[in-house]
Structure 1
Amino acid sequence: MDIFLGELPARFPITLPEGSRVIGSVVTVRPGTTASPTTAVYWNSPVNPLSTQQTLVRTLEQGGWRRLTVPFGPDLTMGGFQPANQVTGGTWYRRSPDQILIFRVQQAGEGSQATLTLSGAESLDQQLRAAGAVTPGTGTGLPVLRPPLGAEVHVESQGSVGDDLNQAARIVTNLSPAALTSHYAGQLKQAGWRLLNEAEVDGLRTSIWSFAQGTRRNLGIFTVQTVGKGEYRAQVSTVTGR
């Protein structure tokens, strides 16, 4: 891991909007692999999130990047765990070399705080095929899961295997495990998910759901695990019919 305080790493291919201040950059390489490194850049913008996003989008389009539709996340507000504060952003890709770029922008005082994550895309063809099957607003993908009042929600991971989707988030809230589960269960029901079974073992609450996607009946899994006082790790995933 290489850390650059207050600066971009050498040959970083994205130009930040004018007036931006880089907080720092982190470059990581998975040991024992030939995969391209992942670069995360943390920076502040003097203008609001919408203006920051518009400027960055123009830069990406001029650089040959194309938007990648993903079936979850705050960039489309299509589904999955939504953050408590207003976040905009997007997922983009380009060829030769195959790369994925994810950016997130949120309000910070009178300006914005943003993150750019650049990584190699070893399975870009598969991701493009999955993106072609998802249209915003069609009800596919993960249900929109809005946070409880006053909670902090941080998406930790998200991905897909074939048509199956998975997303995990860390949640800090004053709610009890049962109340937090109930909060999200209500939204799953509103999205058309039907509860089949639920159980709790050693601080892990698991519920199994059924939902329709076209003519298929699929399974959904929702879990809430207590990791500390007022701190949880929640996960939502789908298992599609074959």
Structure 2
Amino acid sequence: MEDLERQFLYRLLLNPYSLGVTETVHVGQVPPDFPVPLPASSRVLGSTQRIQAPLPLGTPRFYFASHTRVLLDSPLPPLAFLGQLRGLLGEGWEEEAPPGFLGNGFLPALPPEHVHQHSADLQLALQVTAREVDGVTQVDLNVSHDDPEQRQLMRLHHGRMQEATVRVRVPVGTTVETNGGGGGGGSWHYSALISQEQTAAALLDHFAPQLIQQGWAEVHRGTEPQFTTGSWVKTQGGQGVLLLTLEPLQGNYLANLRVIQS
């Protein structure tokens, strides 16, 4: 690689808004003090590390004092890689799913897999995206300093406490067109058109384990002449009920997901 090309690629990696920031690029490795263990099969392409100099008192704290980004490949499927990563993190890390990251409601099959976790003890936030490309799992892993004051401000800023995190992914070979959704005050609604490659019963069978994993327990399933329904109750993280309906509509299913939580 020519020197000019190397300088150009290095400059692309740097944040243009980096006043008071020290940035370091590590090719083929993570920084020496990287706090997150990686699965043994990982092939690290490189990493960037940004460290913010202390800001004057009174400066708004919507910033990360430090941030490390790691790009790597893995021979493991995305879910297997993320499962190993969760196991390596151990105790003290908590799963999160901020609104707008994955989206809520009905999702396409096989989107990039995401993980959001944070450690109050280490004051670190971890964000990971993994997706399979040509048989290789490409991973984008980000670790940031997670100041408690900043965390509270960000929650208020994004209205995180007003969002219900419920998502179901359609099967492979099935298409989904979202009609939107949202809500507040303890009630949320999501709607989508889902193609009819599978029966309504098969779709509910596909959705059920995903909802169970998110802390819901199925209590009823019924089939009427015009629609199929399933209902769940919340078993983790508070109280709530969830109703999912599938109604045939011009070669698709009109799918509705309604959540009421307290």
The alignment's TM-score, normalised by the length of structure 1, stands at: 0.51
Of 19, 23, 36, 1:14 maps to 36
Q: 1:43 maps to which residue?
A: 72
Greater Cα radius of gyration, structure 1 or 2? 2
| Displacement after TM superposition at 1:31 (Å) | 5.3
Unaligned stretches of 5+ residues in structure 1: 139-185, 193-210, 217-242
RMSD: 3.4
Q: Deviations over 1:134-187 (max 9, x none)?
A: 33239xxxxxxxxxxxxxxxxxxxxxxxxxxxxxxxxxxxxxxxxxxxxxxx95
Pairing 1:137–2:163 present: no
Contact 2:124–2:145 (CA under 8 A) maintained in structure 1: yes
How far residue 215 of structure 1 moved from its aligned partner, in angstroms, is 9.1
2:88 aligns to what SS in structure 1? helix
1:124 aligns with 2:124: no
The structure 2 residue matched to 1:191, chosen from 175, 180, 183, is 180
Matching residue's letter, 2:30: L
Any unmatched runs of 5+ in structure 2? 1-22, 57-63, 168-176, 188-262
Output aligned runs, 1:1-242, within 5 Å.
Answer: 1-30=23-52, 33=55, 36-60=65-89, 62-74=90-102, 77-78=103-104, 86-122=111-147, 123-127=150-154, 131-137=160-166, 187=178, 190-191=179-180, 213-214=184-185
In structure 2, do the counterparts of structure 1 residues 116 and 63 end up closer, same or farther at CA, with 3 Å as the change threshold?
farther
> Distance between the aligned counterparts of 2:130 and 2:76, measured in 1?
11
Measure the CA separation in 2 of the matches of 1:72 and 1:36.
Answer: 23
How far off is 1:43 after superposition?
A: 0.5
Distance across 1 between alignment mates of 2:87 and 2:117: 12
- Matches of 2:139 and 2:80, distance apart in 1: 12
Q: Judging changes above 3 Å, is the alpha-carbon distance between structure 1 residues 215 and 47 closer, same or farther for their aligned structure 2 residues?
A: closer
Q: What residue number does 1:173 align with?
A: none
The amino acid of 1:191's aligned partner reads G
Cα 1:215/1:28, change in 2 over 3 Å: closer
Where 1:8 maps in the other structure, the secondary structure is coil
Change (3 A) 1:90 1:9: same
Distance in 2 separating the partners of 1:56 and 1:100: 14
1:131–1:68 distance in 2 versus 1, CA, 3 Å: farther
The count of aligned residue pairs is 146
How far is the alpha carbon of 1:14 from its aligned partner?
1.0
Q: 1:109 to 1:133 in 2, by over 3 A?
A: same
The SS at the match of 2:121 is: coil
Task: Look up the SS of the partner of 2:81 in the other structure.
Answer: helix
